Chains A and B, each alone.
Chain A
Amino acid sequence: MSALPAPLQEQTIQEQPVNDAPVIDLHSLSVTFGRRQILKNLRGDLRGRAIGLLGPNGAGKTTLIHTLLGFHYPSAGTAQIFGHDIVTEAKEIKALVGYMPERDSFISKMSAVHFVRLMAELSGLPPEAALERAHEALFYVGLGEARYRRLETYSLGMKQLAKLAQAIVHGPRLIFLDEPTNGLDPPARLRMIKLIREIRDSGKANIVLSSHLLLDVEECCDEILILRDGQIVVYCNLEEERKSNRKFLMLETRGDQTRFVEALGNLGCEYALTGDHRLKVVLQNGVEVRDLYRLAAQEQVQLRRLSYKRDSLEDIFLKAMENTNGGL
């Protein structure tokens, strides 16, 4: 069958953002499936170049992405992407975004280049441009040599790269990556992380990276949004949070530390037990290290080791999981 010619419109995919609008603006967004509320009253404007979406299983990360993509309707509130409403301007948003789903998703009995070309055409690219960009995208992700092979014959890592290629083939301004390193071996994971960082550093696309692997988010993202039970518990700039003057102390103790820990709490210090005889403590203003030694002596606990540690993403995440009021 010959190609059905379609006249071209004077229209481009790179629409200008609406007056420095945030990448994602959440306006009391709630999503309910049946009687179960999955996302609860999410608010905030996300402006990061690469935003990491974190949370335990079932926290609502994927549902949030799906809702932003228009797959689910909000039960209350709404959200905007680059100033476009997700309910009333879904088609405009879809022209600006790329999506790499978590699960294996492809069209069977197609070569990679045919598959990526079809996806580009569905995004509105004319057939010739779609074919050209399909080749380019596959070379870019490292599947250049295997681009004429059928997708069914690809390994898991290659399928992930093909999914990334279809997500970027039309040059979107925002790319949703849902668990992009799932099931990848270490070299393939590193390759994927490198690609994501390259796209981020190009400055031509924003990225929303959903993952339960903290290391992936830490390596790729500058902002993080942590969800728990469908609620935002943390939204912060990772670098600023790391640089903030909140001193973490790693303590290793000997002896019964129960009363020592209680005394730390009474002193106003935040703490977390990280194992037997291991503690993480955040010193509050006015509390000095010598106060800890005094408390230890008072409670007959030996301090075997005391070291300073900067706040890692793991710390931020663990605290968010422990904290009920949403504060850090």
Chain B
Amino acid sequence: MSHSPLPAQAAAEPAGLAARAAARIAEHPTIALTGILAILVLVTGFVEPNYLSVSGARNTLLQAAPLGILAGAQTILMLTGGIDLSVTMIATGSAYVAANQSPEGAAIAILLGIVVGLVVGSANGVGVSVFRVNPLIMTLAMSGILLGLFTAWAQTILQGSTQMGPFIKLIGGGSFFGNRIPYSVVVWALIAGGLIWLLRRTGWGRLIYAIGDNEIAVRLAGVRVWQVRITAYIVAGVLGSISGILLGGRTGAVDLQLANAFLLPSVAAAVIGGTSIFGGVGGYAGTILGALILSVLNSMLTFLNVGQAIQQVVYGTIVLALAWGYAGLTRRA
């Protein structure tokens, strides 16, 4: 989106220098985010000099790819004013199905894995748009239902392989070009291109922003809002599936905790990238940077020997701080 800087300055004038800087950042989030990313990379390199290498970059990207795709799902839904708290269970379930079907061949395993996202995304979409269940409640409940179902199915119809086949392992964890570029980053780049195209260059993308800003107005303009919402949840579900399959391929073996730890970061990456939880504002370019920032941060905390628990505290704090900062920006404007 192109913004003219003039009105932003006018709006921020009375609030002083800090507010003006904040408004400028709100207008051009990608510039500030790129700066933050660069600083984080340098600081991490200072902590662990080996990090500033091809393998360091590769490891960061390997981590960032599944997170970035999950955060893509959140970005689309947050733009509509929704959210998907079941997206990590979709990822886990898809990976579980793909692992189970891996003996049947990679194509079938991946396809059936994606079917999980299609089905669950459709159910979320129908619940939110047709039955008007609050998206938080709908997807939180869906997450619980999925965990229960997959726990039961693990003992019954999904008994068998919990190992991904070699092709999925290669896509999820392997690299090419002299072991420099992970395949999963290629998948992520293709998806990123697709998402940016969808959001910026299609009517569907226009409507995603529009219903997040004012659903009633979009309805009165003659749009069937439920159709837009359902498709958004389906796209999010499929993105969850792809992310889960990549993540499963990276770890090799799949269990029901696979994507658990990614829920908060998936929201955090979108929020860091400038997408508003209230809808209508943001985009995927910022989310990509958000996912990269979180991955670098993760590496840094690992090098500093900070445990998983503290990392979750850090993610939670980041989301809170940004949500507070964003609320402050909109109050002023």
Whether chains A and B associate is no
